[in-house]
Amino acid sequence: MTEVFAPLVRVPYITPLPEDPDIIAVLKEASEASEAKIANFGGDWHSDFSFLELPPGGSVLYALEIPPFGGDTLWANQAAAYEWLSDDLKAQIEGKRAIHIGAPYGVKAPPKFEDKLK
């Protein structure tokens, strides 16, 4: 159904569900919270897969099970956020660039700055 909006992006860094290669499980059991080897899906404010060469234009989250507390998910419209900035702040950031990395998934370190200027 999400293909109505845009082509689907398959992320090579996370194993999808065996029954559907276009779905990844965003799951972390409470017992895994202290295990350093278990990644925390979205533990901080983030933009899904913005480090990809062609990042997806959006994400879809469908909850099958919702914990009684925690696991909060918020969504933000970055284009609308930009529109709400003052003209002075827009002028300050005009022409600026950001480098997104995907550690621990995908790209481990930012490219050399000179490479991004080409």
Please answer whether residues 17 and 25 qualify as being in contact, where contact means their C-beta atoms are separated by less than 8 angstroms.
yes
Please answer whether residues 108 and 100 qualify as being in contact, where contact means their C-beta atoms are separated by less than 8 angstroms.
no
11: containing domain: 1-118
Cα dist from 75 to 10, 28, 46, 68, 114, whole Å: 21, 20, 10, 20, 33
Q: Tally the domains of the chain.
A: 1
pTM for this entry: 0.59
Predicted confidence at residue 81, as pLDDT, reads 93
Predicted confidence at residue 103, as pLDDT, reads 67
| 90 vs 101, higher pLDDT | 90
pLDDT tens for 36-65 read 554 555 666 777 778 777 788 778 888 888
Q: Angle at the Cα of 45 (from 29 to 72), degrees rounded to 5?
A: 45
